[in-house]
Structure formats: C-alpha cells, structure tokens
Amino acid sequence: MKNLLLSISFSLLGAVAFSQPKMQLLATEHDFGVFKEEAGRQTFNFIVTNTGDSALVIANVVPSCGCTTPEWTQSPIPPKGSGKITAIYDPTGRPGVFNKTLSVHTNSKPELIVLTIKGEVKPKEKTIEDLYTFAAGAVRFESQVMPFTNIKKNEKKIRVMPVINNSTATVKLEFDGLPQYLDLKANPETLKPGQKGIVEGTYDATKNPGAWGNVTEPAKIKIDGVVQNNIYLYISANLVEDFSGLSKDDLLNAPVFKVAATNVDLGTMPQATTKEVEFKFKNEGKRNLNIRFIKPGCGCTAVLQGDPVVKPGQESSIKANFNSGGYNGKVTKAIYVYTDDPKNSEVVLYFNAEVTTKTPEK
C-alpha cells in the first residue's frame, strides 16, 4: 500500500514538472509581395496557439529595425487558447526589397522564435513639391540652400540649381542685393507656366578676402520685379586655403599651429557674470605662421593677443570674455581659428562652464 502511494505521488509530481506551455504558429514568415510606397503601412497577424498545458506568455517582441512596429497579445494565453503577434511595416521613404525579422521571447521552449516579413516597395512618383522643396511666390527651387561646399580662397566656383514656374502665368526670376563676390542668374530669366530652368551661381572667393571657414549669404529673390519679403535663397560655402601647390620642402618647413589646450574649463560661475578664457599657442614650424581669421561661435569677442604673423618658436594667445547671461547648467562654446598651417588650417577651441542660478557665497 505504501509503495502504491509513493508511485501515485511521483506520477503526480512528474505531471506537474512536465506541465508547460507550447507555442504553435500557423506561419513564421509572411511575404507582403509588391506594393506601392503610397499604400502606407502594411500589417500582418501571426496567429499563435498554445498547445501546451499551462499558460503561454509572450514576454517581448523585438524588431530588427525601426521600420517595423510589433504588437502582441499581452495577457497570458491559456492552454488551447490563441493570440496573435502583429507586424506593422512602414514603407515611407524605403523603396526597394526588404527582409525584416521579429524576435519573439516567450516562456515556452524554445524561448526565442524568429518571425520574418518581406516584400518589395515600389517608390512613389515624386510630386513637384517633392522635387522642388522651396517655394518663392510662383517659383519653386530644388532647395532653399545652394551649397558651394569647399572653395579655395584663390578660386571661382560655379553651381547650378533646378527651378520651375509652378503657376499658370509667365514669371521673371531675378536676384537682388548680392555682394560683389556672388553672382546669381536664372536661365532662362523668364519662365513660362510649368517651365523648368536653372539658377546659375558663381562664387568668386578672391573677392571675399576677409572671410574664412563656413559662411552663409542670403540672396533676395525678385519675382516680376518685386522683392519677396522675408524669403531668401541662402548661399553656403566653406572658404579654405589652397595648399595644393606646396612642395615636399614647403610642407617640411611649414608653420605649425600648436595649442597648449584646445579645451578650457572655466569652472562654476553664476548667471550674468563674465570670465576670461585664454588659449595659448606656439608656432612650432620653421616658417612664419599667419593667423588668417578668428571666428567666435560663442556670442563673445575673441581677440588675438599680438601680431597675426607669429614667427617660428614664438608664443601668442587668443583671449575671449564669456558672459554667462541667462544660461543655466553646463555650457560649451567654440572659437574657430584659421591659419596657414597646411596640416591644421582650421582649429576649433572649446571652453566649458557650469552656470548656476545662485550667487556663490563670498
């Protein structure tokens, strides 16, 4: 009798020990086929059935990319019950073939199952607004910025930008108030309804000797002789020194701009106070170092202490006064320095401060 009871007990314990959920899926892969981008989000439900003898819990579903959003049954799925895992794919801006996965974590064995979705997105046909993103009256431009990228200081560079007359009337496109180093012309100048053209831009860096580094110039737009209020085409460029003609000997004997520290910590300072920051440097090269330009990006005035021509072995410094104004917390500011050091012609100097709202005790 005792042995019989023990046998029954072990049988019951075995039944409890082997009681577990089991996830069964009708499919682990879905092909959305070919569809258009403008069709929007595509959704598919992977049906889950618990064929085990205890509750099935879907703990988490992790997509392989941000283009896929998963949803799933959050409550435990009882034995013989069913739930679902939903895959939502967003094709916006993603034309072409795709193959994505969803990693499903559960309390069943195996604990991880991978689902796959795939398909092909046909790109939507671009509208006038897509192709010409910036509007100025009746004329639409490809962009509001015409980028010339890098321009050597002894160079004249040409760029073009597509435009279109998006109205039902003929319009004349011109530009106004341009500096001497910049020329913009529409070709053709008069655009018929729906007609495409280009803006031809010429940037002559030799006529802009005082500017260095990244610069942006707003150009006024005239439509049929009328300047468009508060609407500008921006011209951007990065003006750099031309080192292409230097020989090996020139490079070996070139000036070297060596800064003691490119990052200075001003420590803690209260609001509406001023601290001076100084960056010391030395010409460690064999020829004179020319400080071409100093451009503060800190709302302060950065001043070179001494002559802009620094002789070999000579030391100098750049000072700036930082006003903490209404800042609060950690503040980082930058000063851009342009030199004729061919290996270090643009140097960014940083300084940090921790600005507090409470005046420190004396």
Q: What are the DSSP calls for 157-215, one per residue?
A: EEEEEEEEE-SSS-EEEEEES--TTEEEEEESSEE-TT-EEEEEEEEEGGG-TT--EEE
Q: What angle do CA 195, 197, 198 make, to 5 degrees?
A: 165
Class level of CATH domain 19-122: mainly beta
pLDDT for position 302: 82
Beta bridge pairs of residue 277: 320
pLDDT for position 359: 57
Task: Tell me where in the chain the CATH 2.60.40.10 domain(s) lie.
Answer: 19-122, 128-240, 248-356
User: What is the mean pLDDT of each successive set of 10 residues along the chain, which is 362 residues long?
Assistant: 45 56 95 95 96 95 94 96 96 95 94 96 92 96 96 96 97 96 97 97 96 94 95 96 94 96 95 93 97 85 90 96 92 94 94 83 54
Q: For domain 248-356, say whether CATH 3.20.20.60 is its number.
A: no
pLDDT for position 360: 53
Instruction: Tell me which residue has tokens 């209020």.
Output: 229
How far is the C-alpha of 320 from the C-alpha of 70, rounded, in Å? 53
Host H or E run for residue 14: helix 2-17
CATH placement of domain 128-240 = 2.60.40.10
DSSP of 254-266? ---EEES-SEEEE
pLDDT for position 358: 66
Residues contacting residue 201 through CB under 8 Å, at least 6 positions apart: 146, 148, 158, 159, 160, 161, 182, 183, 184, 235
pLDDT for position 46: 97
Half-sphere exposure of 350 (CA within 13 A, CB side): 7
Provide the token pair at 24: 């069964």
